Amino acid sequence: MRRPIKIIPRLIEAETRKAQPPDLSPESREPPVGAPLRFDDVEEQVSLISMALGSPSDLAVRRTSDGVVCLFLSPLVDQGAVRHSLVEPLGKADWSELQEKGQAARLLPVAGLSEARSLEAAVDRVAEGETALIVHGRPTPYTLDLRGRVARQVSPPISEPSVRGPRDSLTERLSDNLGLVRQRIRNRNLRVRELTVGLDTRTRVAVCYFEGKASPEIANAVIQRLSAIDTPAVLDSSYLMTYLAQRTWLLFPPAVATERADRVCAAIIQGRVVVICDNSPFALVIPIQMVTLFQANEDHYSLAIHSFLLRTVRIIGWLAATMAPGLYIGIASFNPGILPAHAAMTIAAARQGVPYPPVIEVLIMDIALEMLAEASVRLPTYVGGAATVVGGLILGTAAAQAKLVSNVMIIVVALTAIGSFAIPDYQNQLSWRTVKYLFTLSSAFLGIIGLTTAGLIILVYVCSVDVLGVPFMSPIAPWRWTAMVKDVAMRVPDPLAVELGKQQREEEAEGTADA
Amino acid sequence: MREPYLSWPEAAWLIVQYSVCANYLFMPQLLYSISGRLSWAVPIIAIPPAIAGAWAVYYLHTRFPGERLGQFLPRLVGRPLSIAIAGLYILFWIGGSVTNVTVFAHYLSDTILQFTPVTVLVATNMLIIVLVSLSGLKTLVRVNDALLFIVAPFLLFTWLWPFVASRLDFSNLLPVELSELTSDPLRVAMAAVTMYHGYLILLIAGPALNPSGLTALTAGALGTLLSVFVFLAFITMPLLAFGWPYANLLTYPAASFLEVVAPKTGLFPIRRFDFVLTVFFRYIMIVAAMSYFYSAAQTMSDLVSPAAKRMHPWFVVTLGIVLVMLSTLFKGIRTVMEFTSMWVILGASVAVMAPILALVAFLRPDAGHGR
């Protein structure tokens, strides 16, 4: 979606009315003095482009010869490439050859060279970082892709570190990221479709999928939804999330945001669609299911039995993160009878002297925990660690000693925190941290029955969600047994997974399975 | 996701849940009061009428493959009669939903949550039911699918554990006296006909079946047969454990079953066990109540507006509120139990109605045209 630059059409229209039909014959290349302005006038084109861009201070105008001017935004262009690919070849050649159609490609050793359809299009391309080559006698400039900007080197993933597996992660540069993908999937069926989104930012976005594995309907739907985005700014891939899901209010992320190049490739191979956004080190994997959010790429680098253990631990962590506070409230306030007598007595004794009901106790500690988590993210690494230790140990111990909360509560909060950190996907972690409050409050009203009520409400919600037509709770609901056996609670060893994958594809072909 | 979306195993599981849930709380006591010691035979006697009913629903499904009860009924029997027949089904479904929700709310209020008003518990359950109905049948089916992983292990446990706990004495089923069955044959027949009514859900969910046609019969028959095990367990095991007439003297529905399942040791924490079982019972209850509510609401909506793609949200919410208000009429668990005797009559009527409708459809081959 391109936003028209208003000033240019008006100027061009104004000049068009004054101008004679362009005469491109060799005799008429030099404009006579006092003649009406023409598009093939170099200075006029430079002036128009410069005006359209607001005469920015970083606009470089380089005259390589009498009839040729290069024009580019210096921060976006590789100056060395300009020198080697443009200035030097032009210095050796006769610039007038460029006036002939098709000669530019022969003279200039640049891959991304084309002639702009209009001056307006040229302005857009310069704004995007391309270089305009204005040649006297040509009605519109050539544009060359000599982009080069300051970019981070490929580095290990920060938010998804792993013990095993590759250490390279995506960067902010789209071309680098596509390179990382292509290095791993060296197959002709890898499809990459590039789009521009964001009316003001005009961000480049690449949609990657594997032809023959990804559902064509889903790939097309992703492209259509991205093309229809009319938001002014897309500064990160996360901006695209709600547009892709087409749901305004989301409780759980409809896409996995990953910075791991291997995870991106694994998703493509699985038949998912990956959206890589320029200026964002996080790619979006879509469509996903709830179970995907509990899988780490490391699962596939471990033995199947080990990954089963890790996934089980994650599920226990998830249960603790979401339900431990609610369970504490339920037991302490409503249903102490479900514990053995001495355990119930221990909780009651620990709560002696605490002036609040358990729900207030839980909310105080949960909010303190949220603040600690937020502080540790926002603060610099060396201060963040100290703040967490100070907050966790000193504040918790002091609160328990002052009888503001019980000792058992400290254990519950610690369990909640550790459990939430065991959830692999950060967005998923945040979602469940939000859901935890629903569990907590329901439990405060109806005890354990309230906890199960909240569980049912969440179950209804997740069962009602489809992401690009794929049920979010699949393969658990609706049942897809092959997929469930293959890679849900445990990941089957690879040779078996290949066999199950074939079976799954057959089921899909027969229409008895989802995407 | 491809449409239609309901596979036959999913449909069969939906039928199991739909059949079982309404009955596990009150059917044992109801049957003991009707047919005494020989109550254990009723789940077996009930199989043939249930299979006939499943076949009738299958036939209606093949005649009107893309339609629900409220959509095809007016063309099959005419508008006035369709309102009467659909009204009967709606009453049955509403009754089922209110019974499930209310009996469970009373059960909770009497046991675990003694200080919480019954209406609050009913409203809480109804909230979940309304949420599902607002999301549609697809969500209902998926919730039901997901609950398999919670409910099925529980059902397996309840079937198998009593044998391990060695509390069962099979001589308690004897002697077989047919006079117990024939003392009130009409009520026994009604209970038997109503027992496995789960296949009726296909009158609403049939259009979603994938593939259509024979799948309806497969799901109906399989779902019914799987339900037999559940009914046998719930009705027979208290008899096996306590003998006759003691099984009949237990006050609360399901409580007797709890005693059966609990291990035979004096130190066993029965209250904790009761709690866990109650939570599982609730999951079963909620699926049935959802299915009943959805069936009633959808049929009402279809009668008023057959072409509407979705039920109007406010209609669903209003119906939910009405049902909560209706539930306040039940002043205790005994009132609910008394109501279930009437509800069983309704159940028998709608179960018999399905074969009648199939017969009418057979005799009127032109009735399917004109949609």
Q: Which residues of B touch A512 (CB under 8 A)?
A: 7, 210
Q: Does B369 touch chain A (CB under 8 A)?
A: no
Q: Does A511 touch chain B (CB under 8 A)?
A: yes
Q: Give residue A16's region: left, alpha or beta (phi > 0; psi -120 to 50).
A: alpha
The DSSP bridge pattern shows strands A470-471 and A466-467 to be antiparallel
Q: Residue A11: its pLDDT value, please?
A: 37
Q: Residue B351: its pLDDT value, please?
A: 93
CA distance A263 to A283: 10
3-state secondary structure of A226: helix
CA distance B339 to B341: 5
User: What tokens were used for B241?
Assistant: 């454990």
3-state secondary structure of A135: strand
The DSSP bridge pattern shows strands A142-144 and A131-135 to be antiparallel
Q: Does B204 touch chain A (CB under 8 A)?
A: no
CA distance A331 to A325: 10
| Chosen from B101, B133, B142 to mutate, greatest number of chain A CBs within 10 A | B142
Q: Residue A81: its pLDDT value, please?
A: 86
Nearest CB to A460 within list B143, B271, B275: B143
Residue A208 in contact with residue A175, Cβ under 8 Å?
Answer: no
Residues forming beta bridges with residue A275, ordered by sequence position: A207, A284
DSSP label at residue A139: S
Q: Does A183 touch chain B (CB under 8 A)?
A: no
3-state secondary structure of A467: strand
Nearest CB to A463 within list B139, B149, B269: B139
The DSSP bridge pattern shows strands A256-258 and A113-115 to be unpaired
3-state secondary structure of A197: strand
Residue A264: partners with Cβ closer than 8 Å, 6 or more residues away = A170, A177, A180, A181, A208, A258, A274, A276, A283, A285
Per-residue pLDDT of chain B (371 residues), as tens digits, is 346 789 999 999 999 988 887 667 677 888 888 888 888 999 999 999 999 999 999 999 999 988 999 999 999 999 999 999 999 999 999 999 998 899 888 888 887 788 889 999 999 999 999 999 999 999 999 999 999 998 888 878 877 877 776 677 888 888 888 888 888 888 889 989 988 989 999 999 988 998 888 889 999 999 999 999 888 888 888 888 888 888 887 655 555 566 676 666 666 666 677 777 777 778 888 888 999 999 999 999 999 998 888 899 999 999 999 999 999 999 888 888 888 888 889 999 999 999 999 999 999 888 765 44
CA distance B199 to A465: 27
Q: Residue A229: its pLDDT value, please?
A: 93
Test A338 with B2 for CB contact under 8 angstroms. no
Q: Residue A495 — φ and ψ, nearest 5°?
A: -60, -40
Q: Residue A512: its pLDDT value, please?
A: 52
- Degrees, nearest 5: CA angle A243-B137-B3: 65
Listed residue (A269, A276, A112, A278) closest to A186, CA to CA: A269
3-state secondary structure of A201: coil
Distances (CA, A) of B128 to A85, A456, B121, B289: 67, 7, 11, 10
User: What tokens were used for A4?
Assistant: 């028209």
Test A449 with B283 for CB contact under 8 angstroms. no
Residue A175: partners with Cβ closer than 8 Å, 6 or more residues away = none
Q: Does B132 touch chain A (CB under 8 A)?
A: yes
DSSP label at residue A40: T
Nearest CB to B1 within list A446, A449, A514: A514
Amino acid at A116: A
Amino acid at A16: T
Distance of CA A48 to the CA centre of its chain: 36
- Tell me the ipTM for this assembly: 0.91
Residue B320 in contact with residue B126, Cβ under 8 Å?
Answer: yes
Residue A110 in contact with residue A146, Cβ under 8 Å?
Answer: yes
Residue reference for tokens 């699926």? B287
Dihedral sign for Cα atoms in the order A217, A219, A223, A226 = positive
Nearest CA of chain A to the CA of B185: how many Å?
Answer: 40
Q: Residue A439: its pLDDT value, please?
A: 96
CA distance A216 to A35: 56
CA distance A447 to A440: 9
Burial status of residue B255 (CB atoms within 10 A of its CB: 0-12, 13-18, 19 or more): middle
Q: Which residues of B touch A460 (CB under 8 A)?
A: 128, 131-132, 135, 139, 143
Nearest CB to B146 within list A337, A339, A476: A476
Q: Which residues of A touch B144 (CB under 8 A)?
A: 477
Q: Which residues of B touch A458 (CB under 8 A)?
A: none
Residue reference for tokens 């027992």? B195
3-state secondary structure of A397: helix
B332-356 residue pLDDT tens: 888 888 888 888 899 999 999 999 9
Tell me which residues of chain A, numbers 473 to 502, contact chain B at a CB-CB cutoff of 8 Å. Answer: 473, 476-479
Q: Residue A172: its pLDDT value, please?
A: 92
Q: Which residues of A touch B210 (CB under 8 A)?
A: 511-512
From start to end of A189-343, where are the E strands?
Answer: 190-197, 203-210, 256-258, 273-277, 283-286
CA distance B339 to A320: 42
Q: How many residues does chain B have?
A: 371
Test B127 with A457 for CB contact under 8 angstroms. yes
CA distance B87 to B108: 31
Residue A264 in contact with residue A170, Cβ under 8 Å?
Answer: yes
Which chain A residue shows the shortest CA-CA distance from B126? Answer: A453
CA distance A267 to A244: 17
Nearest CA of chain A to the CA of B7: how many Å?
Answer: 8
Residue B47 in contact with residue B228, Cβ under 8 Å?
Answer: yes
Q: Which residues of A touch B136 (CB under 8 A)?
A: 464
CA distance A169 to A172: 10
Distances (CA, A) of B187 to B41, B180, B246, B346: 14, 12, 22, 12
Nearest CB to B145 within list A338, A461, A478: A478
CA distance A218 to A470: 9
CA distance A24 to A299: 65
Q: Does B143 touch chain A (CB under 8 A)?
A: yes
Test A339 with B272 for CB contact under 8 angstroms. yes
Test A446 with B124 for CB contact under 8 angstroms. yes
Secondary structure, 3-state, chain B? CCCCCECHHHHHHHHHHHHHHHHHCCHHHHHHHHHHHHHHHHHHHCHHHHHHHHHHHHHHHHHCCCCCHHHHHHHHHCHHHHHHHHHHHHHHHHHHHHHHHHHHHHHHHHCCCCCCCHHHHHHHHHHHHHHHHHHCHHHHHHHHHHHHHHHHHHHHHHHHHHHHCCCCCHHHHCCCCCHHHHCCHHHHHHHHHHHCCHHHHHHHHHHHECCCCHHHHHHHHHHHHHHHHHHHHHHHHHHHHHCCCHHHHCCCCCHHHHHHHCCCCCCCCHHHHHHHHHHHHHHHHHHHHHHHHHHHHHHHHHHHCCCCCCCCHHHHHHHHHHHHHHHCCCCCHHHHHHHHHHHHHHHHHHHHHHHHHHHHHHHCHHHHCCC
Q: How many residues does chain A have?
A: 515
Which chain A residue shows the shortest CA-CA distance from B145? Answer: A477
Per-residue pLDDT of chain A (515 residues), as tens digits, is 444 433 333 333 434 444 344 443 444 444 444 443 345 578 888 888 999 998 888 999 988 877 889 999 988 888 888 888 888 888 887 878 877 777 777 788 787 788 888 888 899 889 888 999 998 888 889 998 888 877 788 889 988 888 888 989 999 999 899 999 999 999 999 999 999 999 999 999 999 999 999 999 999 999 999 999 999 999 999 999 989 988 888 899 999 999 999 999 999 999 999 999 999 999 999 999 999 999 987 888 888 899 999 999 999 999 999 999 999 999 999 888 888 888 889 999 999 989 989 999 999 999 988 888 888 877 777 777 777 777 777 778 888 888 888 999 989 998 999 999 899 889 999 999 999 999 999 999 999 999 999 999 999 999 999 999 999 999 998 988 888 888 887 788 878 888 887 777 777 666 555 43
The DSSP bridge pattern shows strands A273-277 and A190-197 to be unpaired
